[in-house]
Amino acid sequence: MALYSTVSNSPKLLRIAIVGVGLVGGEFINQLLRFPAPSPFRIVSLTSTKTTLFSPDGLHITTSGWKSDLTQSGLKPDLTVLTRELSSLVKPGQDVVLVDNTSSNVVAALYPRFLRAGIHVITPNKKAFSSELSLYESILSASLESGARFLSEATVGAGLPIVSTLKDLVATGDKVTKIEGVFSGTMSYIFNEFSTGKEGGPSFSSVVRIAREKGYTEPHPADDLNGADVARKLTILSRYIPSLRSALQDGYQSVHTKSLVPAELEGAETGDEFIRRLPEFDAQFDKLRADASEENMVLRFAGVIDVKSGLIKADLEKYPVTHPFATALGGSDNIVMFHTERYGARPLVVQGAGAGAAVTAMGVMSDLLKLV
């Protein structure tokens, strides 16, 4: 109750424009509309790939009706027009926030323009913060120039406080020496099922197939198994560490990344084709598991940022069966360990659900609350 009363009594008004109304976007809209009254938040715009709604005084929408309102809108989306409309609403005590719930490169590339216009940016979209360094530097300079903030908690670990924990460690003068973790909910599920430290187990292809059926993978599982998602998250985190901020000129493509996609399947055009042919390579994965089991180890696809050496990698690693990556994970959990000077003897650990629309939207919502 203390949080709500503090928020409710705030004189600040935040006008919010939401781009992207899919699973995460839809959940975020509903969380926002259910926020206890009186709410400091006013939704002024909704934008999908096909239509948009805009009202500078706030949209009159409900959790049950906003989808049909948006579908029936005759307005086509135009981000240039939206930028201009939103910038005209920026006034003292009346902040404007763009919430980008897409995974679009096009929207991400516009963050400097929004920020320069004084519009805060909140997003779970990893593209802007894990791409080439020049875009990231443009975002930083635009934010400094106008004072508008960019917040991206949900880009790593959905609703888990991973980005904010790292920012707090750095801001308070702690020295981060190493970050390691299981950053992909998809990879977490696959290897929790496939490699338990015991002899034998289900085939790799069957675990991937079931993960896809459960909705844990992308429609094309190669988009998860290539390690790019983990590499993007490592890029985002590394850029908050002063000595590594400029280390990855080409973003996630500069990360040492181990792809688990067999070379022969890199050209598979569809997810169905990929799943059909993956059993051809089960023997290779069986051997990796057997070798790990003989050493009393498990396999986990982990991300590592070693600050001293500058090594940033996403790779299939072996961990003892007693290690937290072997014992503490379940389902599609994420787990991240921060090794720092303050947390030298025992690392600071953040763990929990690292995927899903509800927890991702919660991460976006938590960023929004930081602006109140």
**Count of CB atoms within 10 A of residue 177's CB?**
17
Residue 298's DSSP bridge partners are 319
pLDDT in tens, 84-130: 999 999 998 889 999 999 999 999 999 999 999 999 999 999 999 99
- Residue whose pair of structure tokens reads 């908690």 in the numeric block: 153
Give the H/E segment covering residue 298: strand 297-306
Is 175 designated active site? no
Can you give the pLDDT at residue 4? 40
Angle (CA) 337 343 348, round 5°: 30
- Sequence-distant (6+) residues with CB within 8 A of 175 are 340, 341
What are the residue boundaries of the structural domains of the chain, listed by start? 13-158+360-370, 162-354
Domain covering 162-354, topology: Dihydrodipicolinate Reductase; domain 2 (3.30.360)
Kindly name the residue from 67, 178, 233, 258 that is annotated as catalytic.
233
118 annotated among ligand-binding-site residues: no
What CA–CA distance (Å, rounded) separates 64 from 62? 5
102 annotated among ligand-binding-site residues: yes
198 annotated among ligand-binding-site residues: no
Please list, residue by residue across 93-120, b when 16 or more beta carbons sit within 10 angstroms of its beta carbon and e when fewer do.
eebbbbbbbbebeebbebbbebbbbbbb
173 annotated among ligand-binding-site residues: no
Can you give the pLDDT at residue 11? 62
Domains 13-158+360-370 and 162-354 share a fold: no
Question: Residue type for 190, please?
Answer: I
pTM, two decimals, is 0.93
Give the H/E segment covering residue 320: strand 311-320
96 annotated among ligand-binding-site residues: no
Asked whether 362 and 31 are in contact (CB, 8 A), the reply is: yes
May I ask the CATH class of domain 13-158+360-370?
alpha beta
Regions of the chain with pLDDT less than 70: 1-11
What CA–CA distance (Å, rounded) separates 311 from 162? 20
218 annotated among ligand-binding-site residues: yes
The token duo for 5 is 């009363």
